[in-house]
Amino acid sequence: MDRLLIKGGTVLEGELRASGAKNSALKMFAAALLADEPVTVCNVPHLRDITTMIELLASLGVDVVIDEKMSIEIHANTIQRFTAPYELVKTMRASFNVLGPLLAHYGRAEVSLPGGCAIGPRPVDQHLRGLEALGAKIEMTDGYVKATVKGRLQGARVLFGCRTVGGTEHIMMAATLAEGTTLLENCAREPEVVDLANFLNKMGADVQGAGTETITIHGVESLKGCSHRVIADRVESGTYLIAAAATRGRVKIREANPAHLRVVIEKLREAGAKITLTDDAIELDMEGRRPCAVSLVTAPYPAFPTDLQAQIMAMNCVAEGTGIIKETIFENRFMHVHEMNRMGANIQLEANNTIAVVEGVESIFGAPVMANDLRASVSLVIAGLVAQGDTVVDRIYHIDRGYEQVEEKLQNLGADIRRVAMEQM
């Protein structure tokens, strides 16, 4: 099992290109099952989750072709099976979203209940209720969801009980081939939802209102092939901006979309960063200053994203002042706190572990730490970058699920970080 070895104290400086958004690409892979013709998804990041989804499609008999630029061509018309096995679905929640497209296109699907990061319960009940509203018959057997429909799905009104990105995307995909009109209400507004809607429309779907609370889908009889470039990964971009701020450094993220990170940019400016924006780049410069602590509340887009909460906490650990962070999206999203405190941070948890009070200290110290989920793992990398001495981050397979070439990108910014096998330690 690999680990990351970090020698702290380096100021990050330089330029990076933003990777494609894995949360967009994964749902587009699922949406490709709706098409009667090959589709191509470009700007796909090279990540473990992407590999898992490709393996899942291949297990169904779908033909997947990958070129040297990570453009993925998917031929769903070669499909042979309609069961997504537990061995693949258990490792990644996004794979559950093949259920709706398989059902809408072929009338049947059997998919294992999903796994993913251990950050509290994330039920799929709204996914299933949405599919039932469209006319699906849902049965639960031995940990699998079996869905069938006679003929086509039927358009319907679906009101989500709470904002759900996966649920919004799942029902939106299924409704594209439903007969009639589907109205989705209380929808997630994330940029990845908009990106998926744009992809579906290129395939010949009629999806309107993505990015707002109400999405209208006029069902069509079939979808065709297309080529689509995935948007930049806003969480990855935000992570490297925060890392640079924590180390008092300077970084420019090319091919990023500032509009997708407005509230994060606002918080970094509050921390003392000088930020310059263009249409497709974000440049941050701390001008050598120690960051100021910031307070925030995580909430659905366009508010501060839960997926950047752990990273901003790492910055607050060595910032001037005290920052209060309230997590409202997931339970168990503060598992990194105990690891940071072992490094000398001063973080107190309150209100049943939903609020973290972070009192900045002059310095923290390197230590062996262990990652528990995707975003917590990269926050420990940031903590290692600002710590005195050596930090070893264990269980980095979490990082590999969502960050493309993390050590190479940080090395390009001047970090002293390398990947080592356990037997090399």
Unique residue bearing structure tokens 């501060």: 304
Which residues have C-beta within 8 Å of that of residue 357, sequence separation ≥ 6?
322, 323, 324, 347, 348, 349, 350
- Strands 83-84, 72-75: pairing is unpaired
Unique residue bearing structure tokens 């380096």: 10
Unique residue bearing structure tokens 């929640």: 93
For 40-49, b where at least 16 C-beta lie within 10 A, e where not — what string? bbbbbbebbb
CA–CA separation, 413 and 379 (whole Å): 17
Question: Which pairs with CB-CB distance under 8 Å and at least 24 residues apart come from 282-285?
Answer: 282/237, 282/241, 282/252, 282/253, 282/256, 282/258, 283/250, 283/251, 283/252, 283/253, 284/241, 284/244, 284/245, 284/250, 284/251, 284/252, 285/250
CA–CA separation, 412 and 241 (whole Å): 14
117 an active-site residue?
yes
Choice among 117, 187, 226, 317 that is catalytic: 117
Show which residues are catalytic: 117
